[in-house]
Every structure is written in C-alpha cells, then in structure tokens.
Structure 1
Amino acid sequence: MIPLALSIHFSFYKWSGGLSKDFIGLHNYSQLIRDAKFWFSFRNNMIVTVLSIIGQLGIAFVLAVILQAKWVKFREFHRTVLFLPVVLPAVVVGFIWNLIYSQDYGILNGVLKGLHLQSWIRPWLDDPKIVIYSVTVPIVWQWIGLYLIIFMASIQSIPAEVYEGAEIDGATGFKKVVYITLPMMYDTLRVAIMLCISGNMKIFDNIFVMTGGGPGNSSTVMAQYAYNTSFGKFQLGYGSAISIGMIILSLGLILLSRRLMGGRTVES
C-alpha cells in the first residue's frame, strides 16, 4: 500500500527524481488522457490479453480434459512437463524465443524452410505488423501450465457420480464436457479469466527481453511505457500517473469481465 500511495502522491507533481518537485495537480492525468502513445500501448496490452485468454485458458482447458481421460497414461509426467515453463524466469523464456524467432538461425524459419514454406518465413520480431502477435506466443506458452493445474484440480473436484449418471443417460464425451464439466467449473473459469487479465495487463519482462518495445513502439505495452518514461526520460511524476492509469484500466477490465460473466452458479 505504501508504494501505491507514493505513486498516487508523485502523480500530482512534475518530478525528475531530485529533491525538488513542482505540484501541478491533475495536469499529468489530463496529459495521459491525450497521450496517443499510452493508448497505443494499452491497445497492445488488450491484444496480448485477449489472445492469452483464448490461448492460455482454451489450450489449458482442452489439455485438462484430455489428461483426465481414463485412457491417458503417465498423467503425472505429462502434467509436470506442461507445468515446467511456468517456473522458468521470464527473461529465460524471452531469450529462448529470441533464438526460435531469429531470422538467420532461428528454429521456426528453419522448419518452414525445411517444409518448403519459404513464403511463410518472416522477420518475426522486426516486422511492426506482426511483432505484437509474435511476442504473445511465448506468453501464452509459458502460462498454459498454470491454468492446466487450476483446471485439473477443478475437474477432479466434480463428483464421479455426476459423470456416471450422465453416461447412463447416454451422454458422450463431448456432451459431458459441455453440459457437466463447463457448468460445474464456471466459478473457476471466472477466477482464471480475472487472473489472466490482471497478469497480462502488467506484462513487461518477456517483451522487454525480446524486442525492447520495438521496432519503434510497435510492441510497447503500458508497463514498459511507464518504465521508459520514468527511468529513460526521468519523468517520474508522469510515469507514476501512467502506473495509476494502468491500475484503473486493469480494474475496469476485471470488473467488466465479472459483470459479463455474471454471478451464475451451478444450480442456475
């Protein structure tokens, strides 16, 4: 709470980090509202967040359902392997995917070349049109394992009698997922979406390592814009205002997701 209070305090000042600072009231916030770079970085955050919700939660749910199937062998091994990226530092993940994306010696372009798909080869981290999507892939990949564990725990908490009753009534595997698994873990999905939004609205490490926000500002997100403003330009007052703007927008999206998903329970 202390750093948050200090950020709010500094956001009302024009301050470069020295002993003296000038009180300017809401000027930083009025500037923030008109700041095209800030809203562009917010757009990038939204792209990362939406793709992460679809990718992280979608893939994790599918894998969780598959791993719960009776025919799957070595379930613990698969779960451990899928969870491994979660424990890797974001800096390491960024360097790994830098190597994968490298235009000259990257694995991705090498595979495409080997498959005679040269037309698909791209400078994945140097093309402003696709770079934000390229940096999102490692973020999705890294955190699938976390939501996999959450979903598997939720699925395991569903009474076996419910599935047995559905099988007696003739429900197939797909119908059981749609009409039993999803409704029974609805509250878990709500929490997972909120975690995904809050995590990706403050994403910084992976993108900073891979592109530094470039080329230009094409992959800059809000956290990096606040960092560059505060510690690159030493506009600490305005950087604090950007941070508070991040918090407000993140809370707004979380509240919106709660409102859209409603308070439905299993009984309803």
Structure 2
Amino acid sequence: MLNSIKPKARTVFLYLIVPVVFFVFTVFVPLVTAFVYSFFEWKGGPKKTFIGIDNYVQLFHDATFWQSFGHNIYLVIACIIGQIGIAFIMVMIVNSKVVKLKGIHRTFGFFPSTISAVCLGLIWNMIYHNQYGIINWFLRLIGRDDLCKVWLNEPKLVMLLVSIPLIWQYIGYYMVIILSAISSIDTEIFESAEIDGANGVQRALYITLPLIKNTMLVCITLCVAGNMKAFDNIFVMTKGGPGTASMVMAMYGYQISFNQSNMGYGSCISVGIFVLAMLVIGGSQALVKLLTREKEA
C-alpha cells in the first residue's frame, strides 16, 4: 500500500532545488562565463577588449592545442583498454570459483582510486626517477646499466609512462561498477552455459558482456570524460614536458590562463575542451552501439 503513494510535485521540487541550484552555480554558470570571456582579449584585470571570434580563429590554428588534443585521445584509448579491459578480466577472475575471499580482492582493488591523484603522481615520479627509481634500480641489479635513463625525459615514451599510473589508479573503480552489474545477472544462466560446455572465456564474451553492455557503455563514457580533462597526475609528473610531449588540453589551458595571464584565450581553450569532449563522448557511444547492433544482428 505504501509503495503506491506518490510524492507531491512540490515535495519533489523541494528535494531537487538544492542540487539543481548547486549544479547551476558550479557547472552551468562557469561554462557560460567562459564562453562570454572567450570573445574578449582579457589579461585578468578589469579591462576587457572585445575581439569577436579572433580567439577561436587562433585556437583553430594552434598546433600545440591540437597536439594536446591528440594526447588526450591517446589517454582515452589507453585507459579504455587498460582500465575497463583489465577491470573486466579481473572481475571474471574474482567472480570465478577459483578465487576465494572476494571481498578482500574488491577492497584492495578499489583502494588506489581513493588516493589523491597528486600523491600518486609523486609516487610514480619516484618510481621513474633516474637515480632512486625502482626501474633503474632493477636494471642496475641485473647488470643492464646501459638501459637506465631519465624515463620522463623521453619524448617517445612519456605518454605511455604517464598513462600507466592513470590506468592503475582506476582499475578498481571500474571493477566495482562491473561487479555490481554482474551480480544482477541470474546465476542460472551461467550454470546452464557451463552444463552446455561453455568455458570461462566463452561465458565472459558471449553471455556476460552482452548482458552488461549498458553498464559497459556507462564505464566507457566515464572513462572518456575523465581522460578528456586529465590534468593533476600529468602536471605533477611532467608539467607537460619534455617540451610539449605530454601536454594535455587542460594543462595547456592552465598555462595560457595563469602562466601567461591570457584569460580570454584560456577561456576559449576551455570552451574548445568542452566541445571536443562532447564530440568524443558522443562518438564513442555511437560506435559502441553500432558494434553492439552488428553483433546482435
């Protein structure tokens, strides 16, 4: 009887008013403000000069910005494969009958995502350190001193090296999401497949994955959104260097806005990040849905 009682519209409105106001003032207002400022030449003081779309023309021809966008795409691809892919494999292992104490595995898997990104950046900075880092220490231990190098100063390797901490940090986060989705699947489906002779890989690919495709789509969306605004780990580890070899869009916007005090162009970069992030998220969702339909057909 209680379940049939619906709250009044006024009650729902009162519950929603605080989060909606909070959202408007923390997300919508800054976005609109950045869009307005992007049409001005503004150094951060009271004086602003309206310059129309000049900032957007400059952005379109800015090679560093597009290089940074390419680095963000690299992070997106690496983290979709690394974070979500490894998380799915680990969930299959944790959910198997072989592994015991599943609660401990879930707790320790999720733990890295609770640590501050700045702290993780400092930790991995020490791991990559040319004198005291564990990588060069191991290479010296096995007598391969010739392979030791200043790892974060290698332009060809630096994006891979800054991707590894990001992947490691959020594997457990996606594990929890995928585990919760799998727990809602009727166990009789897996038991029937096992009786029919399906092995673990077949059950994962042809039963589990199709049944949790909506959850996987959410994971991909979160992963794309998070890596399109990546900043803190990379800022601590490389500050975009060497040169611009690990520069990402958010860091480029930060440098333009605060290091060069060019708030107008920095606002333009922020709008560019927002638009490109929406396009990449929409494109990734459309691609996943298209691939899913082809498999179903």
* TM-score relative to the length of structure 2: 0.87
SS at 1:258 equivalent: helix
Shift of 1:227: 0.2
Stretch deviating more after TM superposition (109-118 or 248-257): 109-118
Structure 1 position 24 matched with structure 2 position 75: no
CA distance in 2, matches of 1:77, 1:19: 56
Candidates 73, 81, 84, aligned match of 1:46: 73
1:2-151 equivalences under 5 Å are 2-151=29-178
| Corresponding residue of 2:21 | none
1: CA distance, partners of 2:80 / 2:168: 12
Counterpart-to-counterpart distance in 1, 2:205 and 2:253: 42
Aligned residue in 1 for 2:3: none
> C-alpha displacement at 1:267, in angstroms?
7.8
Q: Residues of 2 paired with 1:94 and 1:19: CA distance?
A: 36
CA-based RMSD of the aligned residues comes to 1.5
Deviation at 1:118, TM superposition (A): 4.0
In structure 1, list runs of 5 or more residues that go unmatched: none
Of 195, 199, 208, 1:181 maps to: 208
Match of 1:157 among 184, 187, 198: 184
- CA change 1:134–1:66 in 2 (3 A) is same
Matched, 1:171 2:171: no
SS at match of 1:14: strand
User: In structure 2, how many angstroms separate the alpha carbons of the residues matched to 1:217 and 1:205?
Assistant: 16
Q: Percent identity?
A: 46
1:120 positional shift: 4.0
Distance 1:202 1:178 in 2: 31
**Which range is displaced more, 258-267 or 40-49?**
258-267
Count of paired positions: 268
1:188-207 → structure 2 map (5 Å cutoff): 188-207=215-234
1:211 aligns with 2:233: no
Q: 2:250 aligns with which of 199, 202, 223?
A: 223
Aligned to 1:129, what secondary structure does the other structure show? coil
Q: Secondary structure at the match of 1:105?
A: coil
Aligned counterparts of 1:2 and 1:48: Cα–Cα separation in 2:
28
1 CA distance for matches of 2:66 and 2:246?
13
C-alpha deviation, 1:122, in angstroms: 3.1
Task: Tell me the distance in 2 between the aligned counterparts of 1:64 and 1:245.
Answer: 36
Q: Distance in 2 between matches of 1:108 and 1:181?
A: 38
CA offset digits 1:96-147 (Å, max 9, x no partner): 0011000111012212332344454332111112111111111111111100
Superposed CA deviations along residues 163-186 of structure 1, whole A, max 9, x for unmatched, are: 111122121111111110111111
**What TM-score, normalized to structure 1?**
0.96
Query: What secondary structure is seen at the aligned counterpart in 2 of 1:82?
Result: helix
Q: Give the aligned partner of residue 242 of structure 1.
A: 269
In structure 2, the CA distance between the partners of 1:58 and 1:216, relative to structure 1 (3 Å rule), is same
4+ residue segments displaced more than 2 Å = 112-122, 263-268
| Unaligned 5+ runs, structure 2 | 1-27
Bigger shift: residues 159-168 or 256-265: 256-265
CA distance in 2, matches of 1:170, 1:141: 34
Shift of 1:262: 1.6
Instruction: State the secondary structure of the residue aligned to 1:244.
Output: helix
Residues 211-230 of structure 1, C-alpha deviation per residue, up to 9 Å, x if partnerless? 11111111110000000000
Hey, what's the Cα distance between the residues in 2 that align with 1:148 and 1:113? 36
**Which residue of the partner structure matches residue 257 of structure 1?**
284
Q: Matched residues in 2 for 1:91 and 1:85: separation? A: 12
SS in 2 for 1:49: helix
